[in-house]
Structure 1
Amino acid sequence: MKSKSGTIFLSGLIAGTLDILAAIFVYVIILEKTTTIKILQSIASGIFKKEAYTGGSQMIWFGLGFHYLIAFVFAWFYFKIYPYLPFLKKSTVISGFLYGIFVWIIMNLIVLPIVFPVLPEKHFDFPLLLSITILMLFIGLPIASVTKKYYSPLE
C-alpha cells in the first residue's frame, strides 16, 4: 500500500471487520449472551441512547458505521504516531499488542464512561482478559502490521 489514506483505510477496515466478527463469534455464538443485532444497537446507543433499541434496522447500520468509524480513528492515530515512536518499529507483534491494550484503555476507561455514565463495575476476570485479548489480536495487530508495511520501505 503506497498511499497514506489507503493504508489507514485498509488497516481500519481489517481491524474493524476482525473485531466485530470476534465480538459476534464470542458473545453471540460461543457464550450465547446476546445477538448480533443487540451488539450493533448497543454501539449505536452511544449516540442515539434508548432510541437505538427501537429505531429499526437503520440503528443496526448506524452501529456498524460507528464501529468502523472508531476503528478508522484508531488506525489513523497509530499511523500518525508510528514515525515518532521508535519502539513501535522494533516488533510488530509487541507494538500491536501494546496498541490493543491502549485501545482497550481508551475505550473502557475514557470513551465508554463518558458515553454511558452508568456502567457495570469491572473485575479482573476472564471476560476482561478476553476483551483485552480480542483488541490486541484483532485491532492492535492488524493496524500495526498494515502500518509497518507502509513505512517499511522508508525505514
Structure 2
Amino acid sequence: MTSKSKTILYSGLLAGTLDILAAIFVYSVILHQTTAEKILQSIASGIFKQHAYTGGTQMVFYGLLLHYFIAFAFAYFYYKIYPHVPILKKNIVVSGIVYGIFVWIVMNLIVLPIVFPKLPSKEFDLPLIISVLILIVCIGLPIAFVTKKSYEL
C-alpha cells in the first residue's frame, strides 16, 4: 500500500471513528436525544430514505459504511489539496479548525439540504456549536495532523 493510500485510509478511519463515537456519546449518552442505532439509520436514510428506519441492523450497517465513505472522501480531499494550499502547511491547529468548519459547511449547508430538502432552518444555538466542535475535533484536526505527518516523511 502506498503512503498516499495509507494516509487516506488512516486519517479516514481515525476521523470517521472519532466522529461517530463523539456523535453517539454526545447525542445518545449525554443529551439523551437519540440512540446510536437511530444516528446510523439517519445516515443511511440519506440513500434509503424512510426504509432506513425500518430496515433493522442492515440499515445500521449501511449507515456506518456511508459514514466512513464520507470520512474517507474528506480525508482524500484534504490530502489532495494539502500540497497546493500553502496556509494548510503553516499551522496544523488552524488548518484543522478551518477544515472542520469547512466540513460542517459542506455537510450542513450543501449535502444535507440536497438529500433532505425539508430540513428545519439552522439556529445559532448550543446544538449547532456542538456539531461544529465535533467536526473540528474529530474530523478537521485528525485529518490535518495525519496528512501533515505523511507529507513530512
Task: Please state which band the TM-score falls in when normalised by the shorter chain.
Answer: over 0.9
* Residue segments in structure 1 that go unaligned for 5+ positions in a row: none
Which residue number in structure 2 is paired with residue 66 of structure 1? 66
- Same amino acid, percent of matched pairs: 69
Corresponding residue of 2:4: 4
Tell me if 1:138 matches 2:135: no
**2:76 is matched by which residue type in structure 1?**
W
What TM-score comes out, normalization by structure 1 length?
Answer: 0.97
CA distance in 2, matches of 1:38, 1:102: 25
Shift in Å, 1:2: 6.2
Question: What's 1:99 paired with?
Answer: 99
Q: How many residues align?
A: 153
Mapped to 1, the partners of 2:12 and 2:123 lie a distance apart of 29
Match of 1:82 in 2: 82
Is the Cα contact below 8 Å between 1:2 and 1:150 reproduced in 2?
no
Who is 1:22 aligned against? Answer: 22
- Residue 35 of structure 1 corresponds to 35
Partner Cα distance (2:152, 2:65) in 1: 30
SS in 1 for 2:72: helix
Shift of 1:115: 0.3
CA contact (8 A) 1:27 1:33 kept: yes
Q: TM-score, normalised by structure 2?
A: 0.98
CA distance in 2, matches of 1:90, 1:3: 22
Corresponding residue number in structure 1 for 2:151: 151
Look up the equivalent residue of 2:138 and give its one-letter code: F
Cα deviation digits, residues 91-144 of structure 1 (max 9, x gap): 111100100000000000000000000001111111111100100000000000
- Measured on the aligned residues, the alpha-carbon RMSD in Å equals 1.0
Letter in 2 for 1:144: A
Structure 1 stretches (4+) deviating beyond 2 angstroms? none
